[in-house]
Amino acid sequence: MSGNKKNSIKLPPCPDPEQYILVKTKEGDFWRRKRQKQSQVNRSLSANVSATKIVSPAVKRIRNKLESYTHNLDTGRLHGRLTGLLNKTYKAKGFVDYSALKGFEFQPDHPLPRLLLTQYEVNTSFEFTELVIPVTSGVLKKQNDLVTDFYFEGILLYGNPLADEPLQTAYALSKPYSFTDIVEEDCKIVLPLPEKNVPWMLMLKVSCLEGNEMAIHPRHYGMKVVEVGG
């Protein structure tokens, strides 16, 4: 008997020359759809998913450590906003630090500059970081007639959020200042820095009082990352 078995079945016409190629094998010829190269969009989405799986647990550690300072704030989608910024850092550097968080507002609808109407300074040395806030008449916007006093908080969070070791915080609190009886002075908040190469971020928080009680509405608070390092 002459002839080849694979040629006994007639090959159908090509379904689409732009989408299919002819593949020849010992068992017979057939049309196969061309393999599609992964698009730039798909590669980017894949990279984001991979980064998020690593960064998201780190963000959870940060949120948990700061929970006692943010419980009276309206932080919105805090986890998603932090994850987006730290994803960029991780993809660029291969690790997570706080460099992308400088200027981060914990309350997007109530940013700190809307409440604190003065320029503050951050002075950093090898061992300490210092917040200097000039306190003068009108330094803080009085949002209603119920608020009576205000005060400042310095919060330093440090440590590697990807490591097993727990994150740490250092904290300092100013004295209360009256809205009606302002003592003009520089409020100075000093916090110790961690050892070299340990990532850290410094937050300034402003809080208002209604007599002896904390103000109820989130607009009476502001919290922002004012410096990063390590």
Residue 107 in 3-state DSSP?
coil
Please state, in angstroms and rounded to a whole number, the distance separating the CA atoms of residues 167 and 183. 36
**What's the confidence (pLDDT) of residue 50?**
76
Q: What was the pLDDT predicted at 230?
A: 86
The domains of the chain are located at 44-229
Q: Are 152 and 145 in contact (CB under 8 A)?
A: no
Full-model pTM = 0.79
What does the alpha-carbon distance between residue 29 and residue 11 come to, in Å, rounded to a whole number? 7
pLDDT attached to residue 3 = 47
Paired tokens of 198: 């340990």
Mean pLDDT of 202-225: 97
Strand partners, 207: 151
Percentage of the chain exceeding pLDDT 70: 90
Residue 34 makes CB contacts below 8 A (sequence gap 6+) with: 19, 20, 21
What is d(CA 122, CA 131) in angstroms, rounded to the nearest whole number?
A: 5
pLDDT category, 45, cuts 50, 70, 90? Answer: very low
pLDDT tens sequence across 186-197: 999 999 999 988
- Compute the average pLDDT of residues 187-208: 96
Average pLDDT estimate for 127-135: 97
Q: In DSSP terms, which residues pair with 165 in a beta bridge? A: none
| CATH code of the domain occupying 44-229 | 2.60.40.10
